[in-house]
Amino acid sequence: MSTFAKVSTIKEKIDIRNISLQTLQEHFTQMGEKGFRAKQVYEWLWKKSCFSFDDMSNISKELRTKLDDNFVINNVKINNSQFSADKTIKNSFILHDAHLIEGVLIPTPGRMTACVSSQVGCSLTCKFCATGYMERKRNLNPDEIYDQVVLISKQAQENYGIPLSNIVYMGMGEPLLNYKNVMDSIEKITSEDGLNMAAKRITVSTAGIAKMIKKLGDDEVKFNLALSLHAANDEKRNTIMPINEQNSLKALAEALKYYYAKTKNPVTYEYIVFDGFNDTIQDAIELAKFCKHLPCKVNIIEYNPIAFANFINAGEDKIEKFADYLKSQGVNTHLRRSRGKDIDAACGQLAIKDKAASVQE
């Protein structure tokens, strides 16, 4: 037999978390196993977050061998972790195909939040975001998003003895450009057959894809939606967020109103106040006007400098005046302090350094 023939007869293992319970049951029947065993394995995978067939203690050794021969669990692993002075933990995760992503554990009074990624890199090229300077390699699978939550949750317990309370899809990538996988990951995280977390403790952040925001409305999602706004003026927003050229503020406002009519969920607007760019009272007037479209709140967040951009954070006095004007107009406004800046774990700073460096070359 030729070398080619030998290679071609090697059976490729099936990614067991990439198939449904029904399909898994069909595989079990073909292997001469009872269907209920598939449900037991499925529970190990999604409810008990098991990454190894050997650890499935109520499964016979013979069946575990069959599973190992036919299937693979492509679980995410921690590549390295960095600890901030404020107790934030940034993780570099390695995927089964050697791609790297980042995720963060953010401890604050009363909350333990996991910030997870949805793509390897990003295609949106927002000028203030480190991930935007990376090439988008691929979307993450639902299990790869789920695994980030599992690993960060374990970190919260091991390091602080406090369970994970919240999840934000605010890491690398644009969640709404990986819509199905993000939705499937949330289903696994919130399902009784999965991690059983409340949907209201999950926030998905988008740079603003109007048609996908409407789809969220059609799907009547229960989780929270945040829009990275950063300017309520098309000309300015186009400058820092090229996605706005195809998704204008008018289009976004219409999509958000549709979303609210379907879900009754208020929206959060994230707004970085950049020095000399969007920090005037006129900018605040435009933002307050945009907020009139539907029930919402505004999170004013600090800018976290990155190597590729020349933006700087507005001064405290300007930020306070900006926030005070919004409050005077009845806008629910909060000032958010960045976490993990000393380890480049804060909002907008996530990037795999070796790949990010290649962008500059």
Residues forming the active site: 102, 347
- The residue assigned the tokens 């939606």 is 225
Per-position b or e across 167-179, b if 16+ CB within 10 A of its CB: bbbbbbbbbbbbb
The H-assigned helical ranges of 56-178 are 61-70, 142-160
Give me Rg for the CA atoms of the chain.
Answer: 22
3-state helix vs strand vs coil in the chain, percent to 5 = 45, 20, 40
Residues 6+ apart with CB under 8 A from 209: 174, 176, 177, 243, 247
Report the alpha-carbon distance of residue 166 to residue 154 in Å, rounded: 14
Report the alpha-carbon distance of residue 256 to residue 261 in Å, rounded: 8
Per this entry, what is the length of the chain? 361
- The residue assigned the tokens 């790949």 is 355
Residues 6+ apart with CB under 8 A from 169: 116, 118, 145, 175, 182, 202, 203, 204, 205
- The residue assigned the tokens 């203030």 is 128
